[in-house]
Structure 1
Amino acid sequence: MSNSYAQPILRTADLSEALRAVDGLLGIADLGNLEIDYEALISSPVALEGLLGLLPYGTWYAKGDEDASSEAGNDPAAHLPIRWSSWAESPETVPGFLAALNDTPATVRWDFSGWPPAPEVGLGGGGTRGAFVTLCMNVHDLELEQPAADHMVYVHVKQIEAERAPWLAEQVGLRVIGDMVEAPY
């Protein structure tokens, strides 16, 4: 299985604006099999407590000490900062996740069945590989390496269907604002 390719379509300091863009994209997607994947860099005990209250079964490892981890049975609060993730969560968890993390760098990825046909660019419907939307909260990149005071929205497509990304952006009144990058997962 290969990774998707992602292209940024929005950069904003307004989280509600970013979520409106995500909602617009989800409004045209085939939401069969919708699930949510999360990644976060947790350095605050308050953020960790809120996150564990919402999604207690996520996995983590300590930044700089990968021996300290959920797999090893360590206490995450004793090893901050940590890189935390959870996969295949329900869409209802998104508001709680965003509220718990406040200014923590994190990504929320909506994973679903496919994109609609894009006849204007010669593409039929897109299948599950490459059908994602990612909100990068308080970070500019998908790998959580560029913390920021604002947020980014990315659309994911198959590399051979790169022209779908600008088409998707246009469907929600936006345009691509950066280069296409290979997604980390």
Structure 2
Amino acid sequence: MSNDIAYPVFRTPDLALALSTARRLIEFGRCEYSEVSVYAEFSSVAEVRRVAKVLPEECFQGQVDYEEFDGVPLAERPALVVGVQGPGLPVDPAAYEGRLPVECGLSELPVGSIEDTFTAAIGANVGWINWESLRWPDAPEVGFHGESKHAEVTLLFNTHTRELDEPADDHTVLVHVRSAVFGGVQTREPYAHWLAEQVGLTVIGPGQRL
């Protein structure tokens, strides 16, 4: 089993510029099987409702301690606990007590189908867009074969980390490659540098693993 590592290659407070930069990198590795996923966290009821109007097809789910529902059939659990699309969100504010932040997301969508709308809706909330199933080309000049399994690009909104635990006032583009550590060294880091350089970018920080 192998894992990925993601390197930051661009950072800006400009949402449109962050998205367009990510797209430049995506197009370098995009293929017919490429897909996109989105995810965000909302810390207020007002933000949940606002985004649900823009992205009604998203699945919204609140925080839950699953022990509180031991023995409770799935059909009898609150919609916000199970996960519900925008039109099914609770109207009563009390339903959100203890459930914030509310998470939302969609996965395995066609590239280009949701990115603009999601970026316009994100506001000050943390989240990401992730493009996967890309195909990085061979880089013989630096001694690397191409990459498919871990060929991804991530755009982080309002955070610097993949864990979304470091809020920020700007947005970060990450390029993913396979993690390969030998002697304590990430031997494929030069490949990430090479990929960034192909679209006029450069690695600007250490790699991030989940």
The answer to whether structure 1 residue 162 and structure 2 residue 162 are counterparts is no
Deviations 1:62-91 (A, max 9, x none): 2xx444754277957723322333221233
Tell me how far apart the structure 1 counterparts of residues 146 and 33 of structure 2 sit (CA, whole Å).
16
Whether the 8 Å contact between 1:60 and 1:85 is mirrored in structure 2 is: no
**Contact persistence 1:4–1:130 (CA under 8 A):** yes
Q: CA RMSD in A?
A: 2.4
Q: Cα–Cα, structure 1 residues 81 and 119, in superposed 2: closer, same or farther, change >3 Å?
A: same
Task: Name the CA distance, whole Å, in 1 between partners of 2:56 and 2:104.
Answer: 11
Shift in alpha-carbon separation, 1:84–1:3, aligned structure 2, 3 A: farther
Q: Is 1:60 aligned to residue 61 of structure 2?
A: yes
Out of 70-79 and 50-59, give the one that drifted further.
Answer: 70-79
Gaps of 5+ in 1: none
Identity of aligned residues (%): 33
What SS does the corresponding residue of 1:48 show, helix, strand or coil? helix
**Residues in 1 aligned to 2:44 and 2:116: alpha-carbon distance in whole angstroms:** 19
Q: Which moved more, 1:129-138 or 1:70-79?
A: 70-79
Instruction: Tell me the equivalent position of 2:127.
Output: 106
Moved over 6 A (4+): none
1:55 and 1:156, CA in 2 relative to 1: closer, same or farther beyond 3 A? farther
Q: 1:45 to 1:31 in 2, by over 3 A?
A: farther
Please name the residue that 1:39 is paired with: 39
* 1:19 aligned residue: 19
Q: Which runs of 5+ in 2 are unaligned?
A: 67-77, 181-187
**2:61, 2:3 → 1: CA distance?**
22
Residues in 2 aligned to 1:113 and 1:72: alpha-carbon distance in whole angstroms: 29
Deviates more, 1:41-50 or 1:26-35: 41-50
Distance in 2 of aligned mates of 1:113 and 1:19: 17
Q: Distance in 1 between matches of 2:2 and 2:56?
A: 28
Partner of 1:95: 116
Normalising to structure 2: TM-score of the pair? 0.75
Alpha-carbon distance, 1:181 to partner: 1.8
Query: What is the distance in 1 between the residues matched to 2:51 and 2:110?
Result: 15
Q: Which of 82, 97, 121 is residue 71 of structure 1 equivalent to?
A: 82
TM-score after normalising by structure 1: 0.84
1:117 and 2:138 are equivalent in the alignment: yes
Aligned equivalents of 2:83 and 2:18: distance in 1? 36
CA contact (8 A) 1:57 1:86 kept: yes
Residue 181 (1) aligns with residue 208 (2):
yes
Tell me, in whole angstroms, the C-alpha distance in 1 between the residues paired with 2:109 and 2:46.
22
Asked which structure has the greater CA Rg, the reply is: 2
The residue identity in structure 2 corresponding to 1:171 is Q
